[in-house]
A and B are shown apart, each in its own frame.
Chain A
Amino acid sequence: MRPQLGPRGVVAAVVFSALLAAAATVAVPATAIASWSAGSAPGATGRAAALTMPGGPTPTAGTTAPGGSSVLVIWAASIGDVPLDGYEISSFDAVTGAPRAVGAGCAGLVVGLTCTEDGVPPGTWRYAVTPRSLTWAGAPSALSDPVTVLPT
């Protein structure tokens, strides 16, 4: 005859299950067992934004001496949060608007707020200033009033 489970057996099973649960509760330590990751949706709450460069201030230009071929260009500092390395000077024919390569004294990056271009060819010229910061450039300034250099 197979063994049968009577009421006592059922009660014993209840006690056994309770003891088993209690043993499991005690045996398994409850420390630092959960770990997971959480994140933000791209662009939803996180961002890094870049500044923009300030524009160039309109310069003034004039010959350093009557009949001379040197032109003094002066401008104010550009106002902005990007630290500037300097300014680039451009020159244009006042009649045709054609650009002209700026000569020594104002060529390349000018760190200060003035420069004197020597050996300017005869003609009427306007100047513009562009602020620079490493690879960045601001908007070029408006053109200066024209300055005329006479033939020598």
Chain B
Amino acid sequence: MRPRVTPTRVAAIAAVIAAGAMTVFALAGPALAVPGRVVVGGELDGLYPGFTGVMQARVTNEYAETVRVTLLDTTVLDAKSACPASMITVTKSATEFDVAAGATATTPITVHMDFAAPDECQGATWPLHFTASLTSVAGLPDTGMNVRQLLAAGLALLALGGCIAVAARRYRTGGPA
């Protein structure tokens, strides 16, 4: 009876593991970890009843790749109970725009104060919460891997697992190589 584990078989299994690992890392490459975020901010002073003005909202891209802002939405919060958020209306960003890696872009946002804003709104400050909808052509923000990379890695790992399972079964049953 031939030995169940031969040097050839061990080398073959090692080759499978190496091929799988190389496939994963070659496809994922340096984009496996892309730390970063997109920060949005903007301030506008000088409001009074009936005021309409333009705030330049800033979008800072801390990712290592260009992102596209498809929508910038602004939520106004209450300044105080007597001076609610409804006294302020803010428009959405009008057009899509790109922000290069590490750069800051601005987009105009129109801000209007209601004519009926009560006297209690004098000197009030309304917090603004921005939400940017973003797209990228290169990678997902969390892992840096795009869909095809993830799929290829998954398939490679699946094939690798199958090979190992077959080899292990052969080892247990002691069949000929």
Where the two chains meet, the residues of A that have a C-beta atom closer than 8 Å to any C-beta of B are: 2, 4-7, 9-11, 13-14, 16-18, 20-22, 24-25, 27-53, 81-83, 133-137
Main secondary structure of the interface of A (DSSP, over half): mixed
Where the two chains meet, the residues of B that have a C-beta atom closer than 8 Å to any C-beta of A are: 6, 8-9, 12-13, 15-16, 19-20, 23, 27, 37-50, 55, 57, 70, 74-77, 79, 88, 90, 111, 113, 115-119, 121-141, 146-149, 151-153, 155-156, 158-160, 162-163, 166-167, 170, 175-177
Partner of B44 from the list A33, A49, A83 (CB cut-off 8 Å) is: A49
Q: A13-B159, A135-B118, A136-B119 are in contact. List 4 more A-B contacts (CB 8 A).
A: A9-B166, A34-B141, A49-B45, A81-B46
Q: Are B135 and A35 in contact (CB under 8 A)?
A: yes
Partner of B129 from the list A7, A42, A133 (CB cut-off 8 Å) is: A42
Q: Are B19 and A136 in contact (CB under 8 A)?
A: no
Smallest beta-carbon distance A43→chain B, Å: 3
Q: B135 — which chain A residues lie within 8 A by C-beta?
A: 32, 34-35
Smallest beta-carbon distance B157→chain A, Å: 9
Q: A49 — which chain B residues lie within 8 A by C-beta?
A: 43-47, 123-126
